Amino acid sequence: MKWIHLSDLHLGKRVNGFSMVEDQAYILKEILEIVRREEPQGVLIAGDVYDKTVPSAEAVGMLDDFLVSLSRLGPQVFLISGNHDSPERLAFGGRLMEQSGVHLAPVYDGNPCRFTLQDAHGPVDVFLLPFLKPVHVRRFFPEETIESYTDALRVAIDHLGVEEGRRNVLVTHQFVTGAARCESEELSVGGSDNVDASVFAPFDYVALGHIHGPQQVGKATIRYCGTPLKYSFSEANHEKSVTVVEMEEKGNVSIRTIPLMPLRDLREIRGSYEEVTLRDFYEGKDFREDYLHIILTDEEDVPDGAAKLRLIYPNLMKLSYDNRRTQNQAQWEEMGPTEEKSPLAMLEEFYEKQNGQPMQETQRSFALGLMEEIWEDEPCDR
């Protein structure tokens, strides 16, 4: 059985003030062409379909067109909500869409969401598990001890009814310990959103969403496919792709990727103002229409530099300098705090200053639980 694994479409996203709608519509057509050529039995979409919980009309229209086109190509489509999605909005009409082979994960209610497909080697069970916080799982399993994201996923998976003798696929959206983040992703409350990969032991393939760089975690069959487009300059060197998974008999899984070529790339270029404006710097190059971060090495700022450079590079997103002044500034910044503190860390620091002693573990757990409840319905973690 062949699968196409996608995630983190972030439809409707803006990057540095630039709408990505045209680029997203283009890359969805490229993905549809790959699906047409590969003829998979299933397409797995692992969350963050939209960039906001209340998506724009253009984003909704793009997803509608994409799902209709996928259903016409024939594969069964399995889609879950991520931390940027509204589970309720994304699940709307799910029971009607099933008639067209599009299966949307319902809002999590503690019950298993399983679908079964058949091939020459027998059944394959597909489980859909949308983005979860511990508070979501505690609501339905109050008798269980759930103090972390790992506990929450373990309890949720324990109640899926997985039959280990069968081939099992999980589609979920979480941060698995060991995965490499980038700037366009956001940390969870208290930095405690890590899920240990051991919870996924019952599955032959785990289609993950949430991390923007394609990568495996621990083993090849626990995989982030990454975003189809670059959404920050920390992703400039990423090679975006579609993940293709082929399952034979149980235990026999092969994985490959198919590169995705965007309408416009997102890249960084460096040089003096004179260098980057010379015709021989860009003539014959393919990046004049790309989204750019230009790093100027001039010692003095160029007056109206961004406006002048946009006459040559219309999609200039960011202009910065790398010179003695900025290097000295960076050295001073390195002498201060090197990472942003989480809300929980700041609360612990405040508590210790006020009370002359650190918070106890019970107090820490209580505070974290309150934070999760307060921000439960937010589109992404603080």
* pLDDT single digits (tens) 321-377: 998 887 877 665 555 554 566 788 888 888 777 776 788 888 888 888 787 767 654
Does the pLDDT value for residue 378 go beyond 60? no
What is the model's pLDDT at position 189? 43
β strands within 95-136, DSSP E: 102-104, 114-119, 122-129
Closest to 46 measured CA to CA, from 183, 228, 218, 168: 228
What is the model's pLDDT at position 376? 56
Pairing of strands 205-209, 2-6: unpaired
* pLDDT single digits (tens) 263-298: 999 999 999 999 999 988 888 788 899 999 999 999
Does the pLDDT value for residue 145 go beyond 70? yes
Indicate the pTM of the whole model. Answer: 0.83
Domain boundaries, the chain: 2-259, 266-335, 343-374
Who's near 240: CB < 8 A, 6+ residues apart? 214, 226, 227, 228, 229, 230, 259, 260, 262
Residue 382 in contact with residue 83, Cβ under 8 Å?
A: no
What is the model's pLDDT at position 380? 39
Average pLDDT taken over every residue of the chain: 89
- Band of pLDDT at residue 181, cut at 50, 70 and 90: low
Residue 1 in contact with residue 41, Cβ under 8 Å?
A: yes
CA dihedral 116, 118, 121, 125 (to 10 degrees): -10
CATH superfamily, domain 2-259, is: Metallo-dependent phosphatases (3.60.21.10)
CB atoms within 10 A of CB 267: 16
